[in-house]
Structure 1
Amino acid sequence: MAEDTASKYWNERVYFWGLRRKDIFLFEIYATTILLGTIYGGFLDKSKITNYFGNSKNLINILFVKKGWFWTTVVYFSHIWNQRSKRFGHKLIIRYILATLWWFLVTQWFVGPSLIDRAFALTGGSCMDFDIGSITFHPKTATHCKSAKGFWTGGHDLSGHVFLLTHSSLFMLAESFDYFNHYGFKSTSTKLLSGLLCLWWWMLFVTTAYYHTTLEKFTGFFSGILEWAVVYVFFPRFPTISSIIGSPEDSHSNAYTFYY
């Protein structure tokens, strides 16, 4: 009964626009993290980064954050496999596809360059001093520019790290929040999921402390919360859309079988 009471409390719509307590809570976690990281970063001498995590070449950044959506996918579905009777509902898969599609459009490809690269170019950015002999066209993306040993400079550099870490964390939390309320953090797969969430939170704080301007962090954050806000906060209000994609809360009406 205590678990049902907790779930009812967090899902109750009590704020403006009918927002639930957990919607506000999740937003506040990441908005506050970025604010505190930015404030802390204002006191740092960024010309001399001595903090291991602040160095972009640290192993956690290279092996985990730069492959963040891969690790999010592996850890989240490992949790699903172990905790939900080894069955994946099609509505859960639809929500995962929507989250993956948004990650892909922002960071990988959007009818050509990604949204991040397009924003950079539209605000005056371009690749400078690249090796003409190593490439047959002017680099249009940060990846191509780096491969040609050039400098991607001059535009608005929407923070891909802030986007990825916020987007990944909110996806996992939106899908698992009620599960945590019902079952806690006892199982190995749940602890692994929680550990990844903690790692993503820490790297988000480090990113906002050491890198990017305030505006670049804001646009990264906005991009990171957008898909979550649409799919998990606003879509559930529309019965037709909700019947197609479902929501993590639907499953609790069936003894937490979680097949939606």
Structure 2
Amino acid sequence: MASPQPPSTPKSTRPTITTPHRRTNSASHASPIDFKPKSSAARRMSMTATSQSASLTPQTFWERATENEQLVLAGLVTSLMLCGILYSLVQSTSLDTSEIHHHSLPHRAAYFARKSNILNVVFVKRAWGWTSLLYLVHLFASSSSPSSIRSGPGGKARKLGIWILATVAWLLFTSWFFGAGLGDRIIALTGGNCAVPLPKDADLKAARDIFPTLFTAGESSRTVTQNQAGKIYVPLPHQFCSGTPLTVNTFPQLFSLIPAYANLKATSNHESLQALPRPRWHRGFDISGHAFLLTLSVMVLGRELAETWRSWAATSSRRRRVATNNDSTISLIRRWSSIVASGLVGIWCWMILMTGIYFHNPPEKLSGLVLGLSTAYLINVLIPPSSSPSPFNPILTPNAAFSRPSAALRSGGSFDENAARRGAVVDDGVIYEDPSESSGEDEAKKARSRNDVREKVE
């Protein structure tokens, strides 16, 4: 009688547990498309992971440029000015604007060599007004979301401070620097003279008795005779080129040379233009005000637009797309102010090139460029930009949407990592669960998993 065979024993006494919905044979072939997060928190987590992984891939040229916009803009305006200076030296196109007689020269053939060109009259003469308008519109129409790039705490206040500092620098150079503007003071200290043309019907002999230092522009001699050709100029005190109006009351010696001057009434600051042209500087070192102001405008406006330019560069590279369905009035104002302000930066760059080609001598142009860049650098030192986004400070994940760990978790309680991966956010290297979004879904999945395990064991 054959002895009964003992029942075969399995190789492992541990029950096999199969987790539902797990891809067991395709781990090495998984792709982001295979994972379809359902909860909103999981989708945010997926977007954050995508942005972090994208930061590890090579950046495009435009993304690198917009992340260092101040260096790029400084290099751009410097290159334009140097190219303009080189062209002016080769072609002899530049006009020495420190000579007073250049205001009486006929218009030059090149359109942008004339001060009456449309860009100079409409835009450059009001450069800081245009820059301030678009800067402030773009600033107050911008989002104050904590996800804004490089905004940091108090982002709008910091940006408003940038504009205030730049405005103060513009006023110091053009209007007031403990009296006259800095530009006028430098001209006066370097030997410049404030002057006005002598009226044609004035008695030259009487003029020589009152003003012994009459001169003609371009002549080496500072004195003139009645037979000398050229326009004769009368030197004036410096304040008349720094804002003090030239009228019968402020400088009667000059008006005494004009016939019937007693009939002129000084009723406004522009009364003097009826008899005499505006007083202007002659010689001295005239720092290019256009080079300074346009350079400063490009740097300040470019810093405000940098965040918008970065978003445009990221969208064009197709490496990050953020869905926006906000067509509110504020968003439209921001969008169009960004476009118009970017066009204004282009106009300023073009006029920097035209200044380099047609106006001032090379040292005056370079000094205006250096002064503008130095002012922008000082503003960046006083109000530095906030830190750049990083994988540890993602820009697409709002912090307010997630909860902090409970007291039980902080004291060493249990932690469901799988649930946290579905509906939580990384914070300082720890994954916290958002129970408001994943509790119901997690309970249902746990129940299904227990049922499946029970069926397989039975």
Bin for the TM-score computed over the shorter chain: 0.7 to 0.9
Q: For 1:236-258, what per-residue CA distance to the aligned partner results, in whole angstroms no more than 9, with x for missing partners?
A: xxxxxxxxx452x45966849xx
- Matches of 2:82 and 2:124 in 1, distance apart? 20
Alignment of 1:1-260 (within 5 A): 1=51, 9=64, 21-42=68-89, 43-45=91-93, 49-84=108-143, 89-129=156-196, 138-140=237-239, 141=241, 144=244, 149=277, 150-184=279-313, 187-232=335-380, 234-235=381-382, 245=383, 247=385, 249=386, 255=395
Match of 1:219, as an amino acid? S
- RMSD of aligned C-alpha atoms? 3.5
Q: SS at the partner of 2:113?
A: coil
- Give the whole-Å Cα distance in 2 for the aligned partners of 1:61 and 1:97: 25
Going from structure 1 to structure 2, the CA distance change for 1:246 and 1:27 (only over 3 Å counts) comes to: closer
**Quick one: structure 1 residues 144 and 251, their matched pair in 2 at CA, closer, same or farther if it must change by over 3 Å?**
farther
Show structure 1 runs of 5+ residues with no match: 13-20, 236-244
**8 Å Cα contact 2:192/2:283 also seen in 1:** yes
Secondary structure at the residue paired with 2:141?
Answer: helix
Amino acid at match of 1:200: W
Q: Provide, for residues 9-53 of structure 1, a one-character-per-residue CA deviation record: whole Å limited to 9, x for no partner.
A: 5698xxxxxxxx544322211111100011122214457622222
Distance 1:11 1:203, change over 3 A: closer
Per the alignment, do residues 65 and 35 of structure 1 end up closer, same or farther by CA in structure 2, a change over 3 Å counting?
A: same
After the TM superposition, which of the residue ranges 163-172 and 43-52 deviates more from structure 2?
Answer: 43-52
CA 11–179 in structure 1, closer or farther in 2 if over 3 Å, else same: closer
Aligned residues: 234
SS in structure 1 of the partner of residue 292 of structure 2: helix
Are the equivalent residues in 2 in contact too, given 1:130–1:151 (CA < 8 A)?
A: no
AA matched with 1:138 = P
Contact conserved, 1:142 with 1:152, CA < 8 A, in 2? no
The amino acid that maps onto 1:77 is: L
SS in 2 for 1:218: helix
In structure 2, distance between residues paired with 1:151 and 1:145: 12
More helix by share: 1
CA offsets per residue over residues 90-146 of structure 1, 9 Å max, x none?
2221111111111110111111111100000000001123679xxxx7242355589
Are the structure 2 counterparts of residues 9 and 207 from structure 1 closer, same or farther at C-alpha, using a change threshold of 3 Å? Answer: closer
Q: Distance in 2 between matches of 1:36 and 1:228?
A: 22
Q: TM-score scaled by structure 1?
A: 0.76
Any conservation in 1 of the 2:140–2:156 contact (CA below 8 Å)?
no
Once the 2 structures are TM-superposed, how far is the Cα of residue 57 of structure 1 from its aligned partner?
1.5
Q: 2-side partners of 1:196 and 1:9: how far apart?
A: 22
Residues 251, 145 of structure 1: alpha-carbon distance in 2 compared, 3 angstrom cutoff: farther
CA contact (8 A) 2:295 2:373 kept: yes
Over the matched positions of the two proteins, sequence identity in percent amounts to: 28
Structure 1 Cα separation of the partners of residues 70 and 93 of structure 2: 35
TM-score normalised by structure 2 residue count: 0.45
CA–CA distance in structure 1, aligned partners of residues 156 and 81 of structure 2: 34
Per-residue Cα deviation, 1:202-247 (whole angstroms, up to 9, x for no partner): 1111111000011000110111111211222x44xxxxxxxxx452
- Separation in 1, partners of 2:65, 2:93: 41
**Aligned residues of 1:124 and 1:155 also touching (Cα < 8 A):** yes
Secondary structure class of the residue paired with 2:284: coil
